[in-house]
Amino acid sequence: MLYSGLHSEKKVYFIYFQDRPIVEYISRRRCQQAIHTIQTMSNPPQKSSGVQFIRIRHEQAGQRIDNFLITLEKGVPKSRIYRALRKGEVRVNKGRIKPTYKLQADDEVRIPPLRVTEKPVIHVSDSLAQTLKQQILYEDAHLLAINKPSGLAVHAGTDIQTGVIEALKTLHPDTLFLELVHRLDRDTSGCLLVAKSRQALLHMQNQMRSQSMDKHYLTLTAGHWQQKQTMVDLPLKKNTVIGGENMVTVDEAGKTAQTCFLIEQSFRDCQLMAVKLFTGRTHQIRVHAASQGHPVAGDSKYGQRDFNKLMKTSGLNRMFLHAWQLTLTHPETDQPLKLVAPLPSELRLFLDHLNTSLAT
């Protein structure tokens, strides 16, 4: 059954079948619920073929058995997994274990047949596959870094079937572990780091928590900053609803957030800024820049409409925010590793245009 999703016309929502509307709703939520029900009925749970025995490899060790099963058995409700653990259906080295048990290398895990929902087939287009291959900045047995293009989500979501991580997993079927170390907004380009083992992931996460990983961005902001260097130390709070939209706001009840802005180049109406993050909050650079009266160019969420219009007229068709450099300690060698993501061609060309037409 081919259901193409939602279509809105005068606040009436339709379910489409083979490009023809078959049901209409006045509530978007009810329409979404109906689509979910239809898709569930079209793809009923299936029983797995039998008992699985899995030998834990070195890169899988260190994680809790419940988290391991949740990741492994996609589509199985968590309640079913915890019931299997509680009843002793799941065994490690022939013995019962608690959900908090941490797996060790060479452990043998017995997993009973579980009812699962068949995984949807993820299709990675040839163009996306080629793009990701061309944008690899660094790869070894422990880490993978790419120069993520703007407009590409890092992971799938409600309206996004395939993100970077899903595409990478599809393109690397023999790699047992691939997980995002951090995230970038969909419209942000630049250095995105992926761990190829659980040990590498934990190592990178510890570096981020201890602020020993240096993250530098390039952004174009409205107006002229008063000082060459500005340190913004303002707490940020997520999920503040403004005008029906979830926003991140400066709020004393929020989490600590620190950003350093440094002027790199000045133009008539804007400045190119080098930015260093000391924390990694959602939308941190965008909100901190806007809080100083210098929002990011092309930012439709926190930006200035007139400034964005001026930038678009000048040729900017995306948000000017790029994850430029990432400096870290390699999880295996303990040696410093510096990753540099060159500015995408569309941003370089736009800066060239500013240099010739809007230079100060």
Domains located in the chain, CATH noted:
3-42 (no CATH), 46-117 (3.10.290.10), 125-360 (3.30.2350.10)
- Say what the pLDDT of residue 158 is: 64
Answer with the residue of higher pLDDT: 117 or 114: 114
| Local confidence band at 123 (pLDDT 50, 70, 90 cut-offs) | confident
- Say what the pLDDT of residue 141 is: 93
Of 51-55, 135-139, 229-233, 264-268, minimum mean pLDDT range: 51-55
Buried b / exposed e along 277-300 (16+ C-beta atoms within 10 A)? bbbebbbbbbbbbbbbebbbbbbe
Q: pLDDT of 256-286, one tens digit each?
A: 999 999 999 999 999 999 999 999 999 999 9
pLDDT average, residue stretch 149-176: 84
pLDDT average, residue stretch 106-126: 77
pLDDT average, residue stretch 291-317: 96
Percent of the residues in the chain that have a pLDDT greater than 70, as a whole number = 82
Of 15-19, 134-138, 203-207, minimum mean pLDDT range: 15-19
Q: Is 185 a catalytic residue?
A: yes
Answer with the residue of higher pLDDT: 38 or 114: 114
CA distance 220 to 228: 15
Answer with the residue of higher pLDDT: 5 or 240: 240
- Say what the pLDDT of residue 25 is: 52
Given the residues 19, 106, 174, 185, the one annotated as active site? 185
pLDDT average, residue stretch 168-183: 88
Asked whether the predicted pLDDT for residue 36 surpasses 90, the reply is no
CA-CA-CA-CA torsion sign (246, 249, 253, 258): positive
Strands 321-329 and 189-195: parallel
Asked whether the predicted pLDDT for residue 48 surpasses 50, the reply is no
- Say what the pLDDT of residue 75 is: 76
| Local confidence band at 31 (pLDDT 50, 70, 90 cut-offs) | low
CB 264 within 8 A of CB 270: no
Whose CA is closest to 276, among 251, 258, 301? 258
